[in-house]
Structure 1
């Protein structure tokens, strides 16, 4: 491939993109994902929000002119593979929010990916969505190299001996349940105690007990507490966007693709062993900014973080402020907060159903009910 040879020959450009290059990248993304009638209203909100959050440079869609795949790839010739992969993922994200996804858009995504010398399993998923083969797409998600494996490293992080699949529940494991129960003995202010309170306040059942979520899904509950995101479905989009972008493994993008397919388009009927489809949440006011900011915060963390394969219990007794500092967690942008991004103990960061579940769980266990109280200092 000619462009591929250019990548090998030219000096790699590693500096952040300037305003001119951001506008150029936006041309490629818009050209890859626009339908016959142009961008959808959601795409018109999402694409500028993503570019502004991730680069700091605004993009005016009215000034974006079409570009072909070959010309775009030539303009990306000095950028390395990971940069080109991230560009393609922005295009994929902008495409996966559309239902029905036009077949010509799926074809164009493949054309741009090939020109860029990039492969991503979500391109195949996009093609299946465009063909209406949503059940096959769901199988692709379950077999995804990032989400589908059950290896010794993952089992060790989850502190369980065996899983039928990554997203299997573990409902009769006294040792695992006991490990989670020990979080209550930790001082207030530690990460582990925050997670224990997070579960109690919502009536969630910890792994190892009947009715609990899969241990792998429970991993992301620590991220809710660490990164300061509540538990509405809009918050779930933020959490998975944060996790996907904090991981240098590009396959982690499938996490974000999964929740968009659950909570925006409904392409997936179920996912992650517990979630069920509930459409339209990315169209909620301000969610484009919140999604972009969550990706920004993930990208700015220090190092690469696979939060689903992390042994969180090794960090449980540490002050949450220390853990945040160690990974370089930056605050939410003012625009995201103004758009409604709330933490676990902030108004808007918990649902009425979860509040009622907490009361019911306390009554069933015969323990005093401690109502959830707003406490922004915890977020």
Structure 2
């Protein structure tokens, strides 16, 4: 799935529905207002006056938007918007359920919201992880190397042993040309004190697409930047992209620990003007990319290529843009 751009009329109806959801339990919260404005600017390319948007009934929304894929995207977007605040009201979920029923869609993100609201957190963690980044990465590793390959990666990450062949290959990136993807990855690990894949406590090799997205996207490693690179990955991900956004918001807004790789925070985006705008902008930037780096991307085949050349080839816009 790539992000679908609705028509002007469809965007207007969708924004009305989003505002209806977000005001079903009270006034439009500042963080959600910022998110709606960011969606208009970076994704929809519209400039509707939010205060002038009237409520819309589920039946009217169904009449305005008939494409099943666009319907699914809209409901998934509603879920992520509700999670942008550190509390989700029952009225907001009920409003989303009403729209989903009228549109006859059952997005993954809505099922995840249901688990969150009913505090089925074990099932929620499992579902988000298996659909976002870690699950698909480990599945592809299993397809390529079998169970033994998975166990070797997990064992080295747990510190049980070092896979010297894998570790040596990554250490050898120090000798790659300056400006190449491989050399920049080596510098990224060296500067941050990270262990290479194959080394004891080194990240499993399938997660290299995340670290390489840091480099191709130009994002740092602080808490906010980690959220941005994940949003960037959600943008270019073709399968279950909204699960990655759900991961970002559950981790950063709702304090839910999902993996050992990401420390949680509660209400991180509160009182940080521009932070949610940055997340939407990173998602939009990823959506412009021509390649899903999480889908069987052979990064070793391009380790010797210049980062700037790869950005142009993959359609990754400059960060400042």
Bin for the TM-score computed over the shorter chain: 0.7 to 0.9
Q: Which of the numbers 150, 162, 181 marks the counterpart of 1:191? A: 181
- State how 1:198-347 maps to structure 2 within 5 Å: 198-249=188-239, 251-266=240-255, 268-271=256-259, 273-283=260-270, 284-302=272-290, 304-307=291-294, 309-332=296-319
Match of 1:126 in 2: 113
Mapping of residues 1-379 of structure 1, within 5 Å: 16-77=5-66, 80-144=67-131, 147-148=134-135, 153-155=140-142, 161-163=148-150, 169=157, 171=159, 172-249=162-239, 251-266=240-255, 268-271=256-259, 273-283=260-270, 284-302=272-290, 304-307=291-294, 309-332=296-319
**For the structure 1 residues 76 and 163, does the alpha-carbon distance in structure 2 shift closer, same or farther, using more than 3 Å as the test?**
same
TM-score, normalized by length of structure 2?
A: 0.87
Which one has the bigger helix percentage?
2
How far has the Cα of 1:165 moved from its partner?
11
Q: Quick one: distance in 2 between partners of 1:219 and 1:152?
A: 14
In the superposition, relative to structure 1, how do residues 241 and 165 fare at CA in structure 2: closer, same or farther (>3 Å)?
farther
1:287/1:147 CA distance change after superposition, 3 Å: same
Q: Deviations over 1:55-94 (max 9, x none)?
A: 22123220111112221111002xx333222222221110
Q: Is the 8 A contact 2:132 2:241 kept in 1?
A: no
Rounded to whole Å, the distance in 2 between the matches of 1:91 and 1:130 is 15
- Which has the larger displacement, 147-156 or 37-46? 147-156
Structure 1 unmatched runs, 5+: 1-13, 335-379
Moved more, 143-152 or 58-67: 143-152
Q: 1:195 Cα deviation (Å)?
A: 0.9
- Following the alignment from structure 2 to structure 1, what is the Cα–Cα distance between the partners of residues 126 and 200? 27
Higher relative contact order (CA 8 A, sep 6+): 2
User: TM-score under structure 1 normalisation?
Assistant: 0.74
Gaps of 5+ in 2: none
Moved more, 285-294 or 210-219: 210-219
Give the total of aligned pairs: 315
Q: 1:305 to 1:167 in 2, by over 3 A?
A: farther
Q: Tell me how far apart the structure 1 counterparts of residues 46 and 152 of structure 2 sit (CA, whole Å).
A: 42
Does structure 1 retain, via aligned residues, the 8 Å contact 2:6–2:70? no
CA shift at 1:155, angstroms?
A: 4.2
